[in-house]
Structure 1
Amino acid sequence: MAPVKLGLVGIGKIARDQHLPSLSRSADFDLIAAASRNAGVDGIANFSSSGEMLAAMPEIAAVSLCMPPQARHQVAAEALAMGKHVMLEKPPGATLSEVEQLAGLAASNGVSLFATWHSRHAPGVEPARDWLKGRRIRKVTVTWKEDVRHWHPGQDWIFEPGGLGVFDPGINALSIVTRILPFPIWLTGAELTFPENRQAPIAADLAFAGPSGEAVEAVFDFRQTGLQTWDIVVETDGGTLKLSMGGAKLFVDGEERGLGPEAEYGGLYARFAELIAAGQSEVDLSPLRHVADAFLLGRRAVTEPFVFDPPAAP
């Protein structure tokens, strides 16, 4: 089949770091246009808005949305209503209800909607899922700590309502946990730490339960400098599994297992192409639902103000 003509909306850090390199290697998609208020992509048509892009280039069959979640719903709804297939960066939206509305809109217009979770395509995730099948899981410990200044430099939107704060990376851990565990979990308690000058948390401690008394504990923190920590440890009756580096490495009882290369975003675009070819959508909201539950159930703690560029020491 001929490559699907695609437009990319939102040319920021994640688009440049991941989407553009993956699309350049994809045989499934032909990137022909981009829409961004402040940036462009060399060698293709560039527009200041998605509406302008789609009006000028009706040959675009699919769009991939990389803008912050607060602004994504309207753009996605307009594209779906025009009969375009839509791929959503994670988190898929600012609320559960708006993404559910998009899923209905995709179905009524006969197009594909793909709510992506890129960490599920890390090379260790499916092997971990397979290894856990048939084993009794006793405890899961998640430690997800990174430096917001490195990964989101100057991006104040991430601490605005709908930006999720530390749950922007933490939801990656939840997407892996909900993929590898063979049973559902639900939140039983949470403490969310907010900088006194921000609207979204900079750290979170979460506790979940499983149907047979399994305990899942998660610690998220956006203030870690130096070596970053993205680990999931699963204790079972048949040994201990550890996913490290966000799923790029897999250990069983301390012994590293061989894995394929990292290709998360290549995997996303390959899956998007499969969904389009099959006339299907994929909209799993379980990671976002856990985040919503944390905001519902979590106790609030306040910490010192956060600024991206602190004043230089005298």
Structure 2
Amino acid sequence: MQGRGSLSARPILIAIIGFGKIAHDQHVPAIRDNASFQLVATVDPGEACLPDVPHFPTIEDLLGSDCEVDAIAICTPPQIRQRIAQTAIMAGKHVLLEKPPCATLAEIAALEQSAQDHAISLFTAWHSRFAAGVAPAKAWLADKQIRSVKIDWREDVRVWHPGQTWIWDAGGFGVFDPGINALSIATEILPRPLLLRRGALQFPANCDAPVSGQIELEDSGGMPVALNLDFLQTGPQTWDIAVETDGGTLILQQGGAVMHTPEGTHHGEDCEYPAIYRHFADAIRQGRCDVDIAPLRLVADAFLRCRFERVEPFYE
């Protein structure tokens, strides 16, 4: 692994590419609280992002500068991630991809092959898998017979994605931008692969990505999974997964942060992004890739197998 020896004795020098809300609110504090990393640059076509960190408009400008960097965290819209990640890999930089990792399955497959060819760590960072209740939920389900799963993922796009017009473009995922978080949890805690059978996706008349969806899945053993997505939820927001088992019902709430079982409730601290960066540091220093496409594959299957319905236009 390139740079492995030197990185074992000093912080990993990392740059963030794409400086929106998630980069500002989650990536920056997680990096700065982790002694394994040092934030050395931001990259975004907009204004300088942090007063004490060098800023560049493009990755080419960063790589052409005298700023030393070992790793890149890519937080741009998914439509442009593949080109940026490939540029970083070819320059010998380790790469963390925010979710969803790319706009297509072919793009992430090409990046994984390139990372392996160049001995680079590539990490698909499914942040919801690191929520406090997810690992305990997986452990609780391990000896249970699972009978059914119901997933309700409903949030207000105007609250959580203001001004993000890219989310409505082809490749922007629409309601699957949050919905893929639910699928990342489900594919982590359920023991068998999930198969998408049928469903319906609602597309606003002026958008190329869905605003809601009702999807039927099952695992490879025939256990049913119902997925309901809504990007226009007002009032209380809902990010819940309910799993019916022979030992009672498990419920994950708040995006996986809280777990309820017949034995009680498990609360944990907000640990998603700190855990992501611990994992990324380990991957770099151990010389390995960590790429999982299962959640993205199910989204791709939804676009292949679901019925498309046109609904009223969306205006922010």
TM-score range, shorter chain: over 0.9
Shift of 1:21: 1.4
- For the residues of structure 2 that align with 1:100 and 1:256, how far apart are their CA atoms? 41
C-alpha contact 1:207 1:215 (8 A) present in aligned 2? yes
Deviates more, 1:100-109 or 1:17-26: 17-26
Shift of 1:58: 5.4
1:45 aligns with 2:54: yes
Correspondence for 2:312: 304
Correspondence for 1:97: 106
TM-score normalised per structure 1: 0.96
Correspondence for 2:286: 278
- Name which of 66, 69, 74 aligns with 2:78: 69
1:161 aligns with 2:163: no
Give the partner amino acid of 1:181.
L
- For the residues of structure 2 that align with 1:211 and 1:46, how far apart are their CA atoms? 48
Correspondence for 1:16: 24
Deviation per residue, 1:243-286 (Å, 9 max, x gap): 00001110013x64233311101111110000001100011000
Instruction: Give 4+ residue runs of structure 1 displaced > 3 Å after superposition.
Output: none
Correspondence for 1:83: 92
Correspondence for 1:125: 134
Aligned length: 307
C-alpha contact 2:134 2:256 (8 A) present in aligned 1? yes
5+ residue gaps in structure 1? 309-314
- For the residues of structure 2 that align with 1:123 and 1:187, how far apart are their CA atoms? 27
- For the residues of structure 2 that align with 1:138 and 1:169, how far apart are their CA atoms? 25
Shift of 1:134: 1.8
Deviates more, 1:129-138 or 1:53-62: 53-62
- Name which of 285, 298, 301 aligns with 1:293: 301
Give the partner amino acid of 2:77.
P
1:199 aligns with 2:211: no
C-alpha contact 2:40 2:67 (8 A) present in aligned 1? no
Shift of 1:154: 1.2
Change over 3 Å in CA distance of 1:2–1:202 after alignment to 2: same
- For the residues of structure 1 that align with 2:111 and 2:273, how far apart are their CA atoms? 22
TM-score normalised per structure 2: 0.95
Deviates more, 1:296-305 or 1:166-175: 296-305
Correspondence for 1:26: 34
1:274 counterpart SS class: helix
Give the partner amino acid of 1:198.
C
User: What is the root-mean-square deviation in Å for CA atoms of aligned residues?
Assistant: 1.0
